[in-house]
Structure 1
């Protein structure tokens, strides 16, 4: 007979034993099983049991005050805690920093992956994530205090290359959350903003002959749930608890939003523009780094404002914003709604998102910064007795192709104003952020420089770039004096050569016209001129032409470069993955024909796509031009080399 698994919260938590290792889902308030945590706290207060638990969490399930795992910060209840993010569980963090419990801070993505490895009975996870940071065993191994002695991280040599090995540990109890369950324990998540790691954590506990308790908001008849909607199957679940009113909010900031669960889409172009304060100034400068068509992660704090700027500048549809708990596309939310998003394209399990991130899937990450030192190290995780934790910061910052750190130049009372397009520091912050050495390395500048990662540090008054020799000052805001407003408030002197003035559009109240700026900037990066061979190489790989504005941007950038070169030239264009909207195809070819007549001595296209070769060839034939489209760059270049070169003619 099938067991009816629906029980009270008190009956469920009564099954937790002294010394159990308990994993708890939750990203801020999303997916946090508040009713189960409340019941566990009540049991301990009333009976002084269970005792000596190990708490395991990836992203901190808490509100930085009383809710979530803050409820479990009782002496005797917790013996050890292994967490990815700590700033939202300050009561638990205080037990760690006061040396009252054993405690570890591991990267959020690593904890997510450990759930899978624990479920599969593997020895551990092997990763590059954390190398050179405080998680590296040569820098502490993620241990938070002196009471913590067991090594969970060690360095491994694999084929002459260093890796970090993260040791697995048992999960005896998994506390998870969903929307609907049936009496057999099948759980769906249709009203949840995220699915997180509920499935993997449940597998980890189940395969250790442990206990899985699921908090839901409603019960369905057995057999009525769509199998494709079941996130955690009943074979993994032991107990189902229906949460009382108020203990199952969608996020700590919003009781319920149909947009967060994907039931409806909302307009993002109706957002009221934020005031032009120092946060928006920084976000605007960061927005100049946004790769159109790229995949992006925006961190908490100032980086959240970048999404608002992108929406205001109407480039949000040209970007794929993501968030570490599994959001692909749409517009991520901030504050106590952080982790949720509206208009998402897809929602992954959290561990899958970190597979994507760790493998280099992000074209750009924009993250906050609290302390920065002269070699480019960044600390966002530990400040004396205040434990913030790394969260997904290490996974993201270490593996994004391009990285922008965003934050004010100083902290603690900074007041900034703008007068006539110039920045004025009305009150300087009391706390220096650019220091000789950071207290804890959350991002390793040395590791990034060694592998040639593109890293910028953006503030309201200046921009630095990471070089092999350390931080280089590359831009200064109009109205800012380098000696008075920058160097006088740094503990070290950065590298300095040519220093540009930050774009004046950042400091004007009206729209920056960012879409056209980004199109031109990024199109320029796709052009490479070889003067010796008088050949312009054009990389249109993955580019899309959807509108007349796109066409005008191509024309404008080509005109500028070709006019500068001053003679007719050979052109070779890579069209791999190129997308041309049929509605503007004719106008695009007319523009190309005009450029060819004015600036080209020869023009050749190539693509590995047979379909695109046929399409482009047909378009050329209709214009009585050469219909040959080559299969590779080498073929196109060889054809150009074999042709007699005309005497250069000034266009």
Structure 2
């Protein structure tokens, strides 16, 4: 006979024992089994038990005001917490900071994948995620306080490489959530915005001989759920609880139900409200210039999520695939209480599988926030200003994305700006500096990223920095901003300053930026000009950015087209003034130069006023046996004698550059 697993929340929670290891689902404000959390809190307040629980969770699951896991703050209820985010349960975070409970802050993706390790009976998992951050045992091992002494992260060398080994903690109880359940406990998630890790969590608890409690919205008849619609099979589920009252099963704390977020309907997004032109939009607009067409991106919460709005406004969304670490793929990323989900998503996959994709290098770009940044490019978002916020998926994402953009205001707390005639003016400076000598905690290691030639930018409303082996270099300044007045006095260190250029003027005008044309290099052919009389091919890369492989491919195509039209080998003159080539593309660009020299160029002269670019390109091309000189100015390049007569009139380049 079939067993009816539907019971009350009180009866289900009564099965939890003292000292159990409990895991719960939820992402920020979505997909939280609120009725189960409330029942657990009520039991403890009423009876004083269960006591000494260990809580394991991925992302924050609460409203930061007492709901979700914030209900579990009562002294004695928890003895240990292993979590990626503490910001959604501030009283629990306070208990950890005051040494009242043991606590570990581990990367979100690592915890998500540890559920699978537990399910498979594995002792843990190896990963490079967390190396050279505060999770690295050499920098604390993820321990939050002094009473936390057990090492659950170890540094291991395998085949001559450093790895971190994360120990799995066996799970006794899993609190999960779904939409529908039949009496046998088969679960479907048709009205949920995300699937998260419910299957892995249920399997981890069940295979450890533990308890799986599922909160649902409704009970359906036995056999009515289609096999492929069942997300968690009933064999893994011990108890089913129907949320009562229904408000305990809201899609998230701000939305009762939105079928566009659950994928049941599609909604028009063309007329989404435009962001006002303020500091947040300036940052999002500049960050949007780094979007990779046909690429996969991730956006963090706060200033970065404005990039989705800008992309939609500029009609770029169809040409990129936005994802969230929670599992949404494609569509328009949601913000606010719905953060982590997406309207019109192409797919929703499990959170642990999304982190497989991220950890394996699937992301082309991520845009994340920053609370503190040091002169070496280290970023802190996890613990600052007396607050234990936690890393969330920040470490997983930032370490493994092909390119990273950190986005945020230059100073924090009370910053006021004005945009007048396309220029930025600081009306009131923020009270707190964000660019500091040393960060309180290393959530992202700039030194480690620079060693791996990972392209990293730091975008603010008034300037842009990039990560170099020398530290942070100031590369762009907003129109109207004075470096000596508006930037340097408000930093705790002096960045590398070579030859910064102006930020794109279009960012500061309240009109479309024609971003799509910029990202797809539609105007790149206009940067190539051929003087038939003198057989000179002029290439103006001034202010252009080679951000991704497709940029390199587009440049190659326009150069080949120009040379093919000439019908013979040409003398190339390249203006690289203000040109930025991503660190991981330097060798590829040098290969393009090599190809052009062998096939199409008779001679080549290029110039740039950036000493940094000068040295990097000189090194890159010399590795291939090429000896083209990189001049410091157009006049110097003109004065140089070449076999093809590049000493002839430089006026053509000057006039052509002026037209550009």
TM-score, normalisation: structure 2: 0.82
Residue in 2 aligned with 1:419? 420
Deviates more, 1:268-277 or 1:292-301: 268-277
Query: 2 CA distance for matches of 1:514 and 1:442?
Result: 31
Residue in 2 aligned with 1:81? 81
Query: 1 CA distance for matches of 2:518 and 2:154?
Result: 46
Query: 2 CA distance for matches of 1:86 and 1:505?
Result: 39
Residue in 2 aligned with 1:139? 139
Query: 2 CA distance for matches of 1:594 and 1:222?
Result: 66
Residue in 2 aligned with 1:630? none
Residue in 2 aligned with 1:295? 296
CA displacement, residues 540-580 of structure 1 (integer Å, 9 cap, x when unaligned): xxxxxxxxxxxxx2xx42353253897489xxxxxxx99xx
Residue in 2 aligned with 1:484? 485
Query: 1 CA distance for matches of 2:138 and 2:499?
Result: 38
Show the 5 A alignment for 1:41-80: 41-80=41-80
CA displacement, residues 315-365 of structure 1 (integer Å, 9 cap, x when unaligned): 011110000011111111111111111011111100000000011100000
Show the 5 A alignment for 1:174-323: 174-244=174-244, 245-323=246-324
* Residue aligned with 2:377, SS: coil
Residue in 2 aligned with 1:381? 382
CA displacement, residues 492-520 of structure 1 (integer Å, 9 cap, x when unaligned): 00001001011110000111111111122
Residue in 2 aligned with 1:526? none
> Could you list the runs of 4 or more consecutive aligned residues of structure 1 that deviate by over 2 angstroms after TM superposition?
556-569, 591-602, 647-651
TM-superposed CA distance for 1:445, in Å, is: 0.5
Question: Residue 528 of structure 2 contacts residue 559 of structure 2 at CA under 8 Å; is this kept in 1?
Answer: no
Residue in 2 aligned with 1:582? none
Residue in 1 aligned with 2:31? 31
Query: 2 CA distance for matches of 1:474 and 1:184?
Result: 61
Question: Residue 530 of structure 2 contacts residue 562 of structure 2 at CA under 8 Å; is this kept in 1?
Answer: no
After superposition, the Cα gap between the structure-2 partners of 1:476 and 1:641, relative to the gap in structure 1 and judged at 3 Å, is closer
TM-superposed CA distance for 1:598, in Å, is: 3.3
TM-superposed CA distance for 1:596, in Å, is: 7.9
Query: 1 CA distance for matches of 2:383 and 2:513?
Result: 37
Query: 2 CA distance for matches of 1:300 and 1:600?
Result: 52
* Residue aligned with 2:194, SS: coil
Question: Residue 530 of structure 2 contacts residue 536 of structure 2 at CA under 8 Å; is this kept in 1?
Answer: no
Query: 1 CA distance for matches of 2:357 and 2:163?
Result: 19
1:94 aligns with 2:94: yes
* Residue aligned with 2:519, SS: helix
Question: Residue 528 of structure 2 contacts residue 562 of structure 2 at CA under 8 Å; is this kept in 1?
Answer: no
After superposition, the Cα gap between the structure-2 partners of 1:597 and 1:375, relative to the gap in structure 1 and judged at 3 Å, is closer
Residue in 1 aligned with 2:451? 450
Question: Residue 422 of structure 1 contacts residue 507 of structure 1 at CA under 8 Å; is this kept in 2?
Answer: yes
Query: 1 CA distance for matches of 2:453 and 2:560?
Result: 39
Residue in 1 aligned with 2:124? 124
* Residue aligned with 1:435, SS: coil
Residue in 2 aligned with 1:336? 337
* Residue aligned with 1:126, SS: strand
Question: Residue 322 of structure 2 contacts residue 332 of structure 2 at CA under 8 Å; is this kept in 1?
Answer: yes
After superposition, the Cα gap between the structure-2 partners of 1:507 and 1:11, relative to the gap in structure 1 and judged at 3 Å, is same
TM-score, normalisation: structure 1: 0.83
Query: 2 CA distance for matches of 1:600 and 1:386?
Result: 66
TM-superposed CA distance for 1:99, in Å, is: 1.1
* Residue aligned with 1:71, SS: helix
Return 5+ residue gaps in structure 2 as ranges. 538-548, 551-556, 570-590, 604-642, 647-651, 653-660
Question: Residue 194 of structure 1 contacts residue 325 of structure 1 at CA under 8 Å; is this kept in 2?
Answer: yes
Residue in 2 aligned with 1:465? 466
Query: 2 CA distance for matches of 1:174 and 1:600?
Result: 70
* Residue aligned with 1:154, SS: strand
Query: 2 CA distance for matches of 1:641 and 1:513?
Result: 34
* Residue aligned with 2:32, SS: coil
Residue in 1 aligned with 2:519? 518
1:558 aligns with 2:525: yes
Question: Residue 568 of structure 1 contacts residue 648 of structure 1 at CA under 8 Å; is this kept in 2?
Answer: no
Query: 2 CA distance for matches of 1:174 and 1:14?
Result: 14
CA displacement, residues 464-485 of structure 1 (integer Å, 9 cap, x when unaligned): 0000010000110011010110
Query: 2 CA distance for matches of 1:511 and 1:155?
Result: 50
TM-superposed CA distance for 1:137, in Å, is: 0.7
Residue in 2 aligned with 1:20? 20
After superposition, the Cα gap between the structure-2 partners of 1:236 and 1:594, relative to the gap in structure 1 and judged at 3 Å, is closer
Query: 2 CA distance for matches of 1:473 and 1:592?
Result: 30
Query: 2 CA distance for matches of 1:316 and 1:398?
Result: 25
TM-superposed CA distance for 1:272, in Å, is: 1.8
TM-superposed CA distance for 1:147, in Å, is: 1.1
* Residue aligned with 1:247, SS: helix
* Residue aligned with 1:115, SS: helix
Question: Residue 30 of structure 2 contacts residue 337 of structure 2 at CA under 8 Å; is this kept in 1?
Answer: no
Query: 2 CA distance for matches of 1:416 and 1:593?
Result: 46
TM-superposed CA distance for 1:229, in Å, is: 0.8
CA displacement, residues 124-149 of structure 1 (integer Å, 9 cap, x when unaligned): 11000000001001111111111111
Query: 1 CA distance for matches of 2:531 and 2:357?
Result: 41
Residue in 1 aligned with 2:104? 104
Question: Residue 562 of structure 1 contacts residue 599 of structure 1 at CA under 8 Å; is this kept in 2?
Answer: no
After superposition, the Cα gap between the structure-2 partners of 1:75 and 1:594, relative to the gap in structure 1 and judged at 3 Å, is closer
Question: Residue 81 of structure 1 contacts residue 103 of structure 1 at CA under 8 Å; is this kept in 2?
Answer: yes
Show the 5 A alignment for 1:511-550: 511-520=512-521
TM-superposed CA distance for 1:408, in Å, is: 0.3
Query: 2 CA distance for matches of 1:648 and 1:349?
Result: 61
Query: 2 CA distance for matches of 1:488 and 1:29?
Result: 39
Query: 1 CA distance for matches of 2:39 and 2:180?
Result: 20
Question: Residue 197 of structure 1 contacts residue 351 of structure 1 at CA under 8 Å; is this kept in 2?
Answer: yes
Query: 1 CA distance for matches of 2:29 and 2:431?
Result: 33
Question: Residue 381 of structure 2 contacts residue 443 of structure 2 at CA under 8 Å; is this kept in 1?
Answer: yes
Query: 1 CA distance for matches of 2:564 and 2:204?
Result: 66
TM-superposed CA distance for 1:183, in Å, is: 0.6
TM-superposed CA distance for 1:641, in Å, is: 6.5
TM-superposed CA distance for 1:384, in Å, is: 4.4
CA displacement, residues 449-468 of structure 1 (integer Å, 9 cap, x when unaligned): 01000000000000000000
Residue in 2 aligned with 1:623? none
Question: Residue 568 of structure 1 contacts residue 601 of structure 1 at CA under 8 Å; is this kept in 2?
Answer: no
TM-superposed CA distance for 1:29, in Å, is: 2.5
TM-superposed CA distance for 1:61, in Å, is: 0.9
